[in-house]
A and B are shown apart, each in its own frame.
Chain A
């Protein structure tokens, strides 16, 4: 289980793990709960160039559709094939096996800390 305090967050309920030049991105447990059981994900392909804030994928539950935003500028290094095969990983382990994309980033925006994000969802 990933230490959630070590992650950074966006107001769109994504988490970002920075490791060198790679940002691993997923959605938070809060977002997964709000969506309900995830049944389909549409993730960008490796090599796709993305810009921070743009929609790069979709996360569908039985009852609604969520958009996946690229939180950073960069190039998609990898999309999680395991989640493609078993979307329920987003619900069962959103901060671990349910990660969605890895991005080789060129620019990092200001992100939320764990405390800031926790305060945001408590509102």
Chain B
């Protein structure tokens, strides 16, 4: 329900005019779809989709100690990335729990751009400010000044290249590597283009000053028409990222989750020098037997959903008793690309190791599930 605390994207009127339906996401009224979330999903897999993700939070870290500061404040070694490179990272708390997952862009030797989830804007900004004590840096929450538009799909590069008004692109987009960025301008205003995304397809994310966002959306959309670009909402974004095995904060990630449980052990750099927040807890690790994230596939069309139990058969030694709950689904849907249900779930590692048959309890019906490595979907390597 709409209330006075709702926030609206600078592109809101464009979405209304485009026939979008809206959903509350972290206090923002964001497009959930423009008619058919399935069509939007398939468009991203086959041509391209354009997403408004202006609700994401941006925090600028600037100053001589920026790299050392982020090495302390975050789980990765940000000092090791090159200028214009991007890196997926985690902000941990002292207990090793995940406060947020982030993408960090290095803008200059001593300046970084930290992109956080909308719902974690304030916890992340506050943690960074708090952790900046003793470092010669400034931490500025610039979320309101920037908007973020993503174009994702096989045609995304051709669309970006054909977009009127995008000029002065530092690195030609066909040479821009995955998880690198380039400076550019849009109608004379500064534009940051990252070859990043959350769909499992090739794609770009465009960081633009908020007052120019509507014009950029219009220019990208106009260029994309010939390539089959469609506006896409959060519903398709969710099924796309689920197929790509990408975690969503609040579902697969949270303050009670250790990175290693979520399959993100590689994101924490224990080899880097010096202390960082969460290091001691991560080195100690979660409790023995802590559940781990796994992919589950099922047959038929009834999908397991977030919160549904993962169970085993009744005790095989006695053949009786109730099924044992060994896990819980965090995200699940009928995969539009694969045609069968997929889910991510936290499951007891012992039953995974033993290969114990697993079932999802779908509102009282047990459906056999196969554990699988993530991702479910991987695009063809070029």
Contact = CB atoms under 8 A, between A and B. Distances in A.
Q: Do A and B come from one complex?
A: yes
A60 B33 contact: no
A62 B305 contact: no
Contact of A62 (B21, B302, B333): B333
A62 B336 contact: yes
Interface in B200-239: 235, 238-239
Interface string A26-40: 000000011011011
Contact of B33 (A36, A42, A58, A65): A36
B302 A42 contact: yes
A91 interface: yes
B21 A39 contact: no
Interface string A11-47: 0000000000000000000000110110110100000
B38 A60 contact: no
Interface in B297-315: 301-303, 305
A91 B37 CA distance: 11
Chain B binding surface SS class: mixed
A63 B36 contact: no
B334 interface: yes
B36 A60 contact: no
A40 B235 contact: no
Given A60-B303, A62-B38, A40 B334 contact: yes
Contact of B36 (A34, A37, A58, A65): A37
Contact of A60 (B37, B41, B235, B334): B334
A47 B38 CA distance: 34
B21 A40 contact: no
Interface string A83-119: 0000010010000000000000000000000000000
B305 A36 contact: no
Given A34-B21, A40-B302, A42-B302, A62 B239 contact: yes
B235 A63 contact: yes
B32 interface: yes
Chain A binding surface SS class: mixed
Given A36-B32, A42-B302, A63 B238 contact: yes
Contacts of A60: 301-303, 334
A68 B235 CA distance: 22
A62 B37 contact: yes
A31 B133 CA distance: 52
A39 B305 contact: no
Chain B, interface residues (CB within 8 Å), range: 10 to 19
Given A40-B301, A60-B334, A33 B21 contact: yes
Interface string A42-76: 10000000000000001011111100000000000
A36 B302 contact: no
A34 B36 CA distance: 11
Given A34-B21, A60-B302, A63-B333, A39 B38 contact: yes
B235 A62 contact: yes
A65 B305 contact: yes
A39 B334 contact: yes
Contacts of A39: 38, 301, 334
Contact of B37 (A40, A42, A63): A63
A62 B301 CA distance: 10
Contacts of A34: 21
Interface in B24-71: 32-33, 36-39, 41
Nearest to A64: B305
Interface in B301-331: 301-303, 305
Contacts of B33: 36-37
Contacts of B239: 62-63
A60 B39 CA distance: 16
B250 to A, nearest CB: 15
5 contacts: A40-B334, A42-B302, A62-B336, A63-B235, A63-B238
Given A37-B39, A60-B334, A88-B38, 13 more contacts: A34-B21, A37-B37, A39-B301, A42-B302, A60-B303, A61-B37, A62-B333, A62-B334, A63-B32, A63-B235, A63-B333, A64-B305, A65-B363
